Chains A and B, each alone.
Chain A
Amino acid sequence: MVDREERQAEIVVEEGQARVHVKSPLMMESLLDKGLIAETYLSHEISILPDAHLVHLGGLSILDRGRDVLIPLIEEIVAARSAHKIVIGVGGGLRERHTFALAIDLGLPTGALAQLTGVMCKQNATMVYYLLARHGGVRIARENFHKLPFYLASGGIPVIVDMPPYHLWEHVPKVGRIPKHRPDAGSYLVAEVYSCRSCIYLKDVDGLCTADPKKDPAATLIPRISVSELLSLDLPDLPIEPAVLEILQVARNRKEVRIVNGLKPGMLTRALNGEDVGTLIYQG
């Protein structure tokens, strides 16, 4: 973008103005100028944690089902650890839904709903941590994400809270008051910014189906689909938050996500090994 010489650290006093600048290619620029924004897009991005898989445990679909589902999954995660670096993200589930319903009934705004429900993910992450503790599970807060390489290198299995910290600053949706950025979006944003090797959602369905498989037995599994194809199908429901699809379209690093059935033993391992199981949703 700029000559090496120009990059010399320098303090600049603006002519005729009592304003001091730090010299940089963006100095005195409006960061909202379209030409400038487009220019910033061109340069490369580094891959921060390219070996790690981000595995999301659904709240309603996995955690809320208790030991029958969770214990075999924990065993599978522990077994896979020798071959894979895994970061576990955990969703909120039923108590999150209840909080939304209660808070909406009381008249609280979207930002308040977003701020209230992170604790449900925290509870779930805490339980997953206790189950994993003897195998090297470690529950880490966002403030400690910079220690992820250490935990992964020492064979640990980090467990993170997936509700993203949009809090009071959550965007107000067009319809209703449910926050747009919820745990699915949170785990995907981590996978994207860290360039994780994969982003795998464990849910209670085989993947994305043409209809709700629990209501329509004729529903068939869609093994691979692009975001724009998926949006054009205009499905009445999705096993993943719509915000993930929006973010996929602007992603620069992790340009696909996979949904697999966490109720079926072996599916996670196959997904970690790069096999085509469940549904792959990709940018495009």
Chain B
Amino acid sequence: MKPGKVESSYSGQTLNERDVIHFDDTGDEIEILPSVHVIKIGGQSIMDRGKAAVYPLIEEIVANKPRHKMILGTGGGTRSRHVYSIAMDLGMPTGVIARLGSLVSHQNAKILHMLLCKHGGVFLLRDNFEHLALYLNAGCIPIIEGMPPYEIYERPARGGRIPESRTDTGIYLLGEVLGARSVIFVKDEDGLFAEDPKKNPRAEFIPKISVAELLERDLNDLMVERKVIELMQTARHVRQIQLVNGLKAGNLSRALDGEHVGTIIHAD
């Protein structure tokens, strides 16, 4: 269907997947900001460690500024876990928990902003999305809270209560819609393990895995939100992500340069 020829009828009223053929989807989808890297700074894994983890990482980010355009997104961490626990105890539904969780990643984004201010860090509200190009062209580093904006419109969690779409998902989807060059998750482990390496130090390391294989293995625990893996299946732009250890100097720089330093999860 071309613009200007919109018809009104029962058929196609709800735009089901079958109706989508009414819309011409054969053309290419544009990449909004194809040169930008979207980087997630972990909450519990990086921010909660304070100076010891955050300062060196900031230095590394700043050092990469001349060569790479970067958008930083923040996770929640231990304060999210605390508010989730209390909210669940009080009987709050998933949508309300999502709303509460969003505020912790908001705090962390503001903290990161203050630390990066002198290097051109700008706090980006979702409503100021249209300023992204301006900030990046001025050599700034936009910092955004990681939670997606769903809040009370978050779907009920399947078999659980904590929202399934949290900060990993928010950052990933931001990268996908921008057609970003890469989406990198900076956490405190070398990458994906078959089990939580904090609980089992001998857990098997997985350097590279496809989405299909990861879904099939159905691991009991994961280093990145399951929702990200699920959404990668239909992605048009960001078909792979990398999980890197931000506690080891140089890892982020190498990942920005396209090197394989942690775990790569790919959809193809």
Verify A172–B221 contact, CB threshold 8 A: no
**Alpha-carbon separation in the docked complex, A2 to B82 (Å):** 13
Closest to A111 in B: B177
Partner-contacting stretch, out of B20-28, B110-118, B248-256, B258-266: B20-28
Verify B13–A60 contact, CB threshold 8 A: yes
Q: How far is the CB of B112 from chain A (nearest CB, A)?
A: 17
**Alpha-carbon separation in the docked complex, A37 to B78 (Å):** 17
Chain A interface residue count: which class? 35 or more
Q: How far is the CB of A8 from chain B (nearest CB, A)?
A: 12
Interface residue from A27, A61, A175, A186 paired with B81 (Cβ < 8 Å): A27
One digit per residue, 1 when the CB lies within 8 angstroms of any chain B CB and 0 when it does not, for chain A 11-32 equals: 0000001111111111111111
Q: Is A112 close to B, CB under 8 A?
A: yes
One digit per residue, 1 when the CB lies within 8 angstroms of any chain B CB and 0 when it does not, for chain A 36-76 equals: 01101101111010000000000011001000000000000
Q: Which residues of A contact B67 (CB under 8 A)?
A: none
Verify B19–A30 contact, CB threshold 8 A: no
One digit per residue, 1 when the CB lies within 8 angstroms of any chain A CB and 0 when it does not, for chain B 1-14 equals: 11111101111111
Partner-contacting stretch, out of A121-129, A132-140, A177-185, A270-278: A177-185
Given contacts A98-B3, A169-B170, contact A104 B23 (CB under 8 A): yes
Interface of A is mostly: loop
Verify A177–B160 contact, CB threshold 8 A: no
Interface residue from B88, B155, B158 paired with A43 (Cβ < 8 Å): B88
Given contacts A17-B49, A34-B220, A212-B10, contact A238 B16 (CB under 8 A): yes
**Alpha-carbon separation in the docked complex, A168 to B175 (Å):** 10
Partner-contacting stretch, out of A151-159, A188-196, A222-230, A261-269: A188-196
Q: Is A77 close to B, CB under 8 A?
A: no
Interface residues of B in 117-154 (CB under 8 A from A): 126, 129, 148-154
Q: How far is the CB of A119 from chain B (nearest CB, A)?
A: 13
Verify A174–B89 contact, CB threshold 8 A: no
Verify B153–A169 contact, CB threshold 8 A: no
Closest to B237 in A: A109
Q: Is A149 close to B, CB under 8 A?
A: no
Q: How far is the CB of B212 from chain A (nearest CB, A)?
A: 15
Closest to B238 in A: A172
**Alpha-carbon separation in the docked complex, A212 to B10 (Å):** 7
Q: How far is the CB of A15 from chain B (nearest CB, A)?
A: 12
Verify A100–B23 contact, CB threshold 8 A: yes
Closest to B96 in A: A193
Verify B6–A32 contact, CB threshold 8 A: no
**Alpha-carbon separation in the docked complex, A110 to B14 (Å):** 16
12 contacts between A and B (CB under 8 A): A20-B48, A27-B82, A31-B84, A37-B162, A38-B159, A45-B91, A101-B3, A101-B24, A164-B150, A165-B150, A177-B20, A252-B93
- Interface positions of A (Cβ within 8 A of B): 1-2, 7, 17-35, 37-38, 40-41, 43-46, 48, 60-61, 64, 94, 97-98, 100-102, 104-112, 115, 142, 145, 164-178, 181-182, 184, 186, 189-190, 192-193, 195, 204-205, 212-215, 236-242, 246-247, 250-253
The 7 A-B pairs at the shortest CB distance, nearest first, are namely A176-B20, A111-B177, A193-B95, A26-B81, A37-B160, A169-B148, A164-B153
